[in-house]
Amino acid sequence: MVALARVPRPEPQDFAGDPQFAADALAGLKATPKRMPAKYFYDAEGSLLFEQITELPEYYPTRCEMKILRDHGKEIGKVIPEGAALIEFGSGSNKKVRILLKHAPKLAAYVPVDICAEMVEDEAKELETERPQLPVFPIVADICTRFALPDAAQTAPARVGFFPGSTIGNFESHEAAAFLRNAGEILGDGAVLIIGVDLIKAPEILNSAYNDKKGVTAKFNKNLLVRMNRVLGANFKLETFEHHAFYNRERNRIEMHLASLKRQKVRVAGETIDFRAGETIHTENSYKYSIESLNALAGGVGWTQIQAWTDPKNYFGVVAYRLGKR
């Protein structure tokens, strides 16, 4: 007699390896409407998928930001004092800071901070071989937490934060304000912060940037389900969920969702989650700003604009701030 194959159900304590992910995922999936924090996109696979997104013809932000850094590198470099420590929030592949480094010689330290350990460690090693004179101190952390800087950065005469990629757009405005306040506290007196931000523009351009023809953004979105299946013993059937991304004009944001194509039950971290047909998990907001609206937000927590740069099409902005009033 053949025994029925029984797939053992992981018990909640099985998720001890990543209890925070288990708790956040369950809280989000039990909420109405369902949601997931966007930071969970960035496991090793998700970080690689995001790198692929940045090369898509439809995804203009990375190319625009790199163009600004190249075209205005000399001026941007002027806000970075000699001997400063450069701290990058959400460093990913380091490819943007490489442009900045050309115009910021003699740094006391470069501190890339990223939630993805594989990414931040591999890229730091690569950068160290490229630039043996640059002390690199990678940190694996959620950029919203009060992480500690290495001594070399703390004792440097100045600290400059670099927050590219419009990652600020993933925050609600109160979260963005909290991030900016926290960054100021980490960087300390005399801090400078260089922020990259995606600007408000025609909805067609925004919609196609998050609905690429190759389906890489859809794969990036669905990787959340893959990650829950692997790490939280979930049983999401990928083909029963669909990538939805659209520009919400009233709120100046792209919304990404995963829509269940049918009514179904899914097991996640030892619990059962019900989906109605068409019900979505809201996986990301990507807020778009004007330079003025970003200045207002940053100004509210003590940052004063030094200078702002945009690309010729005005798709993207890079803004330098210093801590303190005029």
By residue count, the chain amounts to 326
**Alpha carbons 42 and 94: distance in angstroms, whole number:** 15
> Does 212 help bind ligand AVJ (rule: CB under 6 A)?
no
Binding positions for ligand AVJ, 286-315, rule CB under 6 A: 286
Q: Which of residues 3-62 bind ligand AVJ (CB under 6 A)?
A: 53, 61
Give the shortest CB-155-to-ligand AVJ separation in angstroms. 32
Based on CB atoms, which residue is closest to ligand AVJ, 61 or 317? 61
Gap between the Cα atoms of 195 and 206, Å rounded: 20
Report d(CA 164, CA 119) in Å as an integer: 16
> Judged by CB, which is closer to ligand AVJ: 63, or 78?
63
The rounded distance, in Å, linking the Cα atoms of 240 and 16 is 28
Q: Of 214-233, which residues contact ligand AVJ (CB under 6 A)?
A: 217
Residues between 53 and 92 with contacts to ligand AVJ, criterion CB under 6 A: 53, 61
Task: Give the nearest distance from C-beta 209 to ligand AVJ in angstroms.
Answer: 7
Cβ closest to ligand AVJ, residue 9 vs residue 313: 313
Residue 210: CB minimum distance to ligand AVJ, A: 5
Stretch in the footprint of ligand AVJ (CB under 6 A) among 29-37, 164-172, 223-231, 315-323 = 164-172
Binding residues vs ligand AVJ (CB under 6 A) = 53, 61, 165-167, 169-170, 210, 217, 284, 286
